Amino acid sequence: MPRVSARFGALPAYPLGDVPALKRQLRADGVDLIDLGVGDADLPPPPAAVAALTTAAADPANSRYSFQLGLVAFREEIADWMVRRFGVQVDPFEELVPVVGSKEGLFHLPLAYLDPGDIAIIPDPGYQVYLGGALFSGGEPYLVALRPENDFLIPLDDLPRDVVARAKLLYLNYPNNPTTATAPREHLQKAVDFCHRHDILIAYDNAYSEVAYGGFRPPSILEIEGARDVAVEFHSLSKTYNMTGWRVGWAVGAASAIAALTRVKTFSDTGVPFTVQHAALAALRTQGSWLPQNLAVFEARRDAAVDAFRRVGVGLSPPSATMYLWVPLPEGTASEPFARRLLLEQGVAVLPGAALGRGGEGFYRIALTVPEERLAEAIERIGRAL
Ligand SMILES: Cc1ncc(COP(=O)(O)O)c(C=O)c1O
Tens of pLDDT, residue by residue over 2-38, are 999 999 999 988 767 788 999 999 999 999 999 999 9
* Ligand 1 pocket residue status of 102, Cβ below 6 Å: yes
**Ligand 1 centre and the CA of 162: distance in Å?**
30
Instruction: Answer for the pair 357, 143: CB distance below 8 angstroms, yes or no.
Output: yes
Shortest-distance atom of ligand 1 to CA 249: 10
Q: What is the CATH number of domain 64-284?
A: 3.40.640.10
User: Separation of 318 CA from ligand 1 center, angstroms?
Assistant: 21
pLDDT at residue number 288: 87
Binding site membership of 101 for ligand 1 (Cβ less than 6 Å): yes
Total-model pTM: 0.97
Q: Which protein residue has the closest C-alpha to ligand 1 atom 13?
A: 39
- Residue 244 near ligand 1, beta carbon < 6 Å: yes
353-362 burial, b at 16+ Cβ within 10 Å, e below that, comes to bbbbbebbbb
Rounded CA gap, 272 and 96, in Å? 14
pLDDT value, residue 17: 79
103 Cβ below 6 A of ligand 1: yes
Ligand 1 midpoint to CA 236 (Å): 7
3-state helix, strand, coil in the chain (%, to 5): 45, 15, 40
Residue type, 199: D
CATH 3.40.640.10 residue ranges for the chain: 64-284
Phi/psi at 99 (5° precision) = -125, 160
What CATH class has 6-44+290-385? alpha beta
Supply the pLDDT for residue 12: 87
Q: Which of 104, 108, 176, 236, when mutated, tests ligand 1's pocket best, judged by the most ligand atoms within 8 Å of its CB?
A: 236
Cβ 240 under 6 angstroms from ligand 1: no
pLDDT at res. 14: 73
Query: What is the reported pLDDT for 15?
Result: 67
108 Cβ inside 6 Å of ligand 1: no
Could you give the 3-state DSSP secondary structure of residue 92? coil
Q: Where in the chain is the domain with CATH 3.90.1150.10?
A: 6-44+290-385
What is the C-alpha to C-alpha distance for residues 207 and 8, in angstroms, rounded to an integer? Answer: 27
Distance of CA 1 from the midpoint of ligand 1 (Å): 34
Closest atom of ligand 1 to 236 CA is 10
CA of 312 to the centre of ligand 1 (A): 31
Question: Which among 40, 235, 239 is the best mutation to test ligand 1's pocket, defined by most ligand atoms within 8 Å of the CB?
Answer: 239
> What residues of the chain score a pLDDT lower than 50?
none
